Chains A and B, each alone.
Chain A
């Protein structure tokens, strides 16, 4: 325990030395592949999970996460640091892509579409969470986003407010409303089985 403060300081220094997203973006736009790789490793997992939870499909999630970074590196990328953070920009791209996918029709159920990445397949394929995911997908987008970001990604209200471009109070009230809707829907879904089990 005597060494703990020193180790803590060391980590803090290392953390401070990490370049921010915007700096990595600037470097990657100048052709720095390492910066792009670092940005990808930093942001891809959370974006992928976000796309998975929102779309409910590992295939769509993979495609969306991939496309987000393709757009980021593309010549038509319109990120403007004055308008918000790069992370918020990336979530915006992912959100728009998922909207497009959803507009095209219902995404394929994961059970019908085996995926190479079993953890994600198992995640949704698991019975205990499948109903929750289905209910989550049926929520209006404004509620779905805050559930995914606040409760599944454990982001603070302040973070989420920045990511979706809404006040903190709006995020909190949407989350409470979303949880109430989820609870009510799950209760309705569980009710027949409870009656049956009696």
Chain B
């Protein structure tokens, strides 16, 4: 066994704070180099132990922990679609949601056109009976094709009606702000603004699906 081999064993013994076996002790008695190294290794081990004991008491400051947790709570969460098995970041999620909303809106608008064909005749008949349907210029913020003086304007972003769902037509007085709040803007042809009569198509869930302005109040 050579000195370098013995030193490798000395280092491990010093690190583990184990006793030296007899042959090593006998070698140390006659080898200055190995003895010096053994003593240096023992000193190192003792100093490392002291550092370990002091450092073991340390705990992260509560304020740092709290600030990290707070930051974690505030940061935007990724959106996960389990069935797709993919997670997307906050920015990508915004794009995905925008695309989904656009898709939903286009489906809804085409569905709303169907609603008009199914219900508009009955509603219009009711309006005619009531003697309503004065010439107003209607503006829909989303559906320019719905501009008509005697037709219903689909309410944007409203959920689509279910197959066979029974709708109610409610005749009511509306302020322009109320119309604007559901995404429909109405301006009187004569430039007058004020409360107006309207027919509102309401689904079974109570959500308005379409509006027709029938008369400006004043």
Contact = CB atoms under 8 A, between A and B. Distances in A.
Contacts of A167: none
Contact of A75 (B60, B72, B80, B89): B89
A176 B11 contact: yes
A183 B8 CA distance: 14
Interface in B56-81: 57-61, 64-65, 68-69, 71-73, 75, 77-78, 80
A62 B44 CA distance: 26
B41 interface: yes
Interface residues of B, number: 36
A73 B75 CA distance: 9
A128 interface: yes
Contact of B60 (A48, A150, A151): A48
Contact of B77 (A31, A40, A66, A69): A31
A40 B40 CA distance: 37
Q: How large is the interface on A (under 10, 10 to 19, 20 to 34, 35 or more residues)?
A: 35 or more
A122 interface: yes
Given A36-B72, A151-B15, A179-B11, A66 B64 contact: yes
A120 B52 contact: no
Nearest to B60: A44
Contacts of B7: 176
A120 B58 contact: yes
A119 B58 contact: yes
Interface string A181-193: 0111011000000
Interface string A13-32: 00000000000000011110
B48 A40 contact: no
B134 interface: no
Contacts of A28: 72
A186 B43 contact: yes
B196 to A, nearest CB: 46
Nearest to A69: B68
B68 to A, nearest CB: 5
Identify which of B51, B78, B80, B89 gathers the most chain A CB atoms within 10 Å of its CB. B51
B37 A30 contact: no
Contacts of B45: 151
B61 A117 contact: yes
Contact of B55 (A49, A128, A186): A49
Interface in B184-211: none
B91 to A, nearest CB: 8
Interface of B: 7-8, 11, 15, 37, 40-41, 43-45, 47-48, 50-52, 54-55, 57-61, 64-65, 68-69, 71-73, 75, 77-78, 80, 87, 89-90
Given A73-B68, A128-B47, 14 more contacts: A30-B80, A31-B77, A36-B72, A41-B60, A45-B58, A45-B60, A65-B60, A66-B68, A117-B58, A129-B54, A132-B44, A151-B44, A176-B7, A186-B44
Interface of A: 28-31, 33, 36-37, 40-41, 44-45, 48-49, 52-53, 62, 65-66, 69-70, 73-75, 116-117, 119-120, 122-123, 126, 128-129, 132, 150-152, 154, 175-176, 179-180, 182-184, 186-187
24 contacts: A29-B78, A31-B78, A33-B69, A33-B72, A36-B68, A36-B69, A40-B60, A40-B68, A45-B58, A48-B60, A62-B61, A62-B64, A65-B60, A65-B64, A75-B78, A119-B54, A119-B57, A119-B58, A132-B44, A151-B15, A152-B48, A182-B44, A183-B43, A186-B40
